[in-house]
């Protein structure tokens, strides 16, 4: 079935880096844009970043711009989120989600993974 | 950062109808971008409830319906059931971000 599975979360000190991965299966990965969305403990959903199907277009939320980088490997059906200069306010459950289209247009996000928890603390 | 505004909470007795509003701006819903709705049960990822303003994925009961007009949208739950207790979020696209924008979230409580 169509699914995405995140990994790579953990506890990291402020200022350090972490790389998240999202493995996709059950659909033609290279056809669809992919998103990262995060949810801080007890808070709402926050869109983080999107990458187009071929990796040429990438967009970021202002809160992570310049610190996070989204990328993908279509040969391995995987999307990544490289997170640098991490801050305590980046602590959240990070979800990967498939877009319904090829670029970040009017598409909806489905499915979502179970998420991977990132905790930034000294 | 753009955001879509929802009421923090709504409540209703079993069998009643509740509605959740989602208010945006000219850079997202007002620009003609679609609205999608998600249901999030405690400890689980968001589940797609409505896509493309008013379409239900297979398996979603027809008790759930939605509409969109200009810079606002709404989700209605008819015949409220205890299993409907959850957080609900709207989602649209924002051209100033070139990315997604979520609503602030609404907690539905079944009395």
Per-residue pLDDT of chain B (111 residues; tens, 9 = 90+): 568 999 999 999 999 999 999 999 999 999 999 999 999 999 999 999 999 999 999 999 999 999 999 999 999 999 999 999 999 999 999 988 888 999 999 999 999
Please judge whether B100 and A37 are an interchain contact, meaning their C-beta atoms are less than 8 angstroms apart. Answer: yes
- Per-residue pLDDT, averaged over A1-25, amounts to 98
Q: What does the alpha-carbon distance between residue A111 and residue B55 come to, in Å, rounded to a whole number?
A: 16
Q: Return the pLDDT at A105.
A: 63
Sign of the dihedral defined by the CA atoms of residues B37, B42, B45, B47, in that order: negative
* Gyration radius from chain A CA atoms: 13
- Per-residue pLDDT, averaged over A77-83, amounts to 98
Residue A70 in contact with partner chain B when CB distance is under 8 A: no
> Could you tell me how far CA A39 lies from the centroid of its own chain?
11
Distances (CA, A) of A28 to A56, A92, A120: 17, 29, 34
Q: Return the pLDDT at B98.
A: 85
The model's pLDDT over A32-75, given as tens digits with 9 standing for 90+, comes to 999 999 999 999 999 999 999 999 999 999 999 999 999 999 99
Sign of the dihedral defined by the CA atoms of residues A62, A44, A50, B3, in that order: negative
Please judge whether B100 and A62 are an interchain contact, meaning their C-beta atoms are less than 8 angstroms apart. Answer: no
> What's the whole-number average pLDDT of chain A?
95
φ, ψ at B50 (rounded to 5°): -140, 135
Q: Return the pLDDT at A29.
A: 96
Residues 4-23 of B with CB under 8 A from A: none
Q: What does the alpha-carbon distance between residue B89 and residue B35 come to, in Å, rounded to a whole number?
A: 10
| Cβ atoms of A73 and A82 closer than 8 Å | no
Q: What does the alpha-carbon distance between residue A1 and residue B57 come to, in Å, rounded to a whole number?
A: 16
Please judge whether A110 and B34 are an interchain contact, meaning their C-beta atoms are less than 8 angstroms apart. Answer: no
Cβ neighbours of B33 in A, within 8 Å: 106
Give percent of chain A above pLDDT 90: 94
Residue A38 in contact with partner chain B when CB distance is under 8 A: no
Q: Return the pLDDT at A103.
A: 76
Q: Sort residue B98 into left (φ over 0), alpha (ψ -120 to 50) or beta.
A: left
């Amino acid at each position: 079935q169509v699914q995405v599975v995140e990994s790579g979360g953990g506890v990291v000190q402020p200022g350090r880096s972490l790389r998240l991965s999202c493995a996709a299966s059950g659909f033609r990965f290279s056809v669809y844009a992919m998103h990262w969305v995060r949810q801080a403990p007890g808070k709402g959903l926050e869109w983080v970043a999107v990458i187009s199907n071929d990796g040429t277009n990438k967009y970021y939320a202002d809160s992570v711009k310049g610190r996070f980088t989204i990328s993908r490997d279509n040969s391995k059906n995987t999307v990544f989120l490289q997170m640098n200069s991490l801050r305590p306010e980046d602590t959240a459950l990070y979800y990967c989600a498939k877009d319904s289209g090829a670029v970040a247009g009017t598409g909806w996000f489905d499915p979502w993974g179970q998420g991977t928890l990132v905790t930034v603390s000294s | 950062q753009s955001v879509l505004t929802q009421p923090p909470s709504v409540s209703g007795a079993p069998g009643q109808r509740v509605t959740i509003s989602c208010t945006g701006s000219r850079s997202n819903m007002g620009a003609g971008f679609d609205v999608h709705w998600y249901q999030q049960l405690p400890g689980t990822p968001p589940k797609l409830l409505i896509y493309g303003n008013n379409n239900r994925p297979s398996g979603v009961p027809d008790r759930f319906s939605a509409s969109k007009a200009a810079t606002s949208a709404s989700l209605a739950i008819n015949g409220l059931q205890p299993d409907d207790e959850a957080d609900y979020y709207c989602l649209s696209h924002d051209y100033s971000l070139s990315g997604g924008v979520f609503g602030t979230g609404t907690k539905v409580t079944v009395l």
